[in-house]
Structure 1
Amino acid sequence: MTLTTTSIVKVGIADMQLATSPAILKTAGLGSCVGVVVYDLARKIAGLAHIMLPDSTASSKPPTNLYKYADTSIDQLVKTLLKQGAEKKALEAKLAGGAQMFSFRSSNQMLRIGDRNVEAVIAKLQQYQIPIRLKMSVVIKGVRFFFISKQAYWR
């Protein structure tokens, strides 16, 4: 993870990147995954995490990739932003994604990955008392997510 100040910063699946304005943070393939941007407008710094799964504790092994899970990814994102000079009380968030990509006859909770990802991200942001300024959930399709300064775009 590097701090980038120019151009387009691509964030892969189960990845996180930081950037300062005027850089553009971009991720693609947000089906059931959630893209979450946490930013400090005054200090012009933002981080984007592309989260795959809601909870790292569901696995019997410790996570090898902290950016894969909502609980550990948000922790890393906030910690890294603060280390780079962001102020905790100035942090805000925007998120997109969380689609139900497949139709199942069963209403099994475990199969609702998209919903569970969104719920886990929101819960973790609330734990840090970070206000959510935009929540764009997709219903059935994937989405691309861009963050430019304080604007979030998706398509």
Structure 2
Amino acid sequence: MKRVILNIGDAQTVDSAATFTCFGLGSCIGLFMQDRTLGLSGGAHIMLPEATTSSQACAGKFYNVADAVDHLLKQFARKGSSLKAIRAKITGGANVIQTMYNVGALNAESTRNHLTRRGVYIAASDVGGFESRTVNFHTYTGDLNITNPGRPGGRII
């Protein structure tokens, strides 16, 4: 089985059994989408709620919510997926540094808004809080395993 490590700005799709992994999601969002009828899955590690000049400058990277969501949906459409068949799971968006400017909350809100506007069903989310997360999305089950540093076990959404 393939393992896909998603670093900041990465967005990829697979059409076979794989595990997408994002290490240490703080304010970033881990977005995972799946069309089970086609066996198609995708994931993104998103850093910013909106595009900035610098976030658009790196070819092949998808640092902001709109670019990452659009990229994944285009990849799904190329494989024949319809929006109604896609299910999404989102995680991350923590306020780890605990500042007044809570970029994690902005990332989570922007992700929800972009998915909802495009008609993508959000099947589950685990966002917010004050701790980072490491996540593994298993495409063959659709399970998203979430662990926090210093805590035994984890949870599945």
TM-score over 0.5 (shorter chain): yes
Report the TM-score when normalising by structure 2. Answer: 0.84
CA 1:53–1:62 in 2, change beyond 3 Å: closer, same or farther? Answer: closer
Cα distance in structure 2, aligned partners of 1:123 and 1:94: 13
Runs of 4 or more off by more than 2 Å in structure 1? 59-62, 84-88
Report percent identity of matched pairs: 26
Corresponding position of 2:16: 21
Given that 2:26 and 2:96 are in contact with CA atoms closer than 8 Å, whether structure 1 keeps it comes out as: yes
Deviations 1:74-122 (A, max 9, x none): 0111111111232222011001000001123xx4xxx210000000000
1:117 corresponds to 2:110: no
For residues 124 and 11 of structure 2, the distance between their equivalents in structure 1, rounded to whole angstroms, comes to 19
Secondary structure class of the residue paired with 1:140: coil
* In 2, Cα distance between equivalents of 1:144 and 1:21: 22
Of 60, 63, 83, the match for 2:56: 63
Out of 31, 44, 47, the position equivalent to 2:26 is: 31
* CA root-mean-square deviation: 1.6
Task: Report how far residue 151 of structure 1 moved.
Answer: 1.2
| 1:112-150 superposed Cα distances (whole Å, 9 cap, x missing partner) | 100000000000001111010110014111111111131
* TM-score normalised by the chain length of structure 1: 0.85
> Which amino acid is the alignment partner of residue 79 of structure 2?
Q
Structure 1 segments unaligned to the other structure (5+ residues):
1-5
Partner SS, residue 68 of structure 1: coil
The C-alpha deviation readout for 1:18-67, integer Å capped at 9, x for no partner, is 122311111112100000011101111111010000000xx356712451
Distance 2:3 2:55 in 1: 32
Looking at secondary structure, tell me which structure has more helix per residue: 1
- Which of 124, 143, 156 is 1:151 aligned to? 143
> Equivalent residue for 1:40?
35
Which deviates more from structure 2 when the two are superposed, residues 45-54 or residues 59-68?
Answer: 59-68
Question: Amino acid of the residue matched to residue 136 of structure 2?
Answer: F
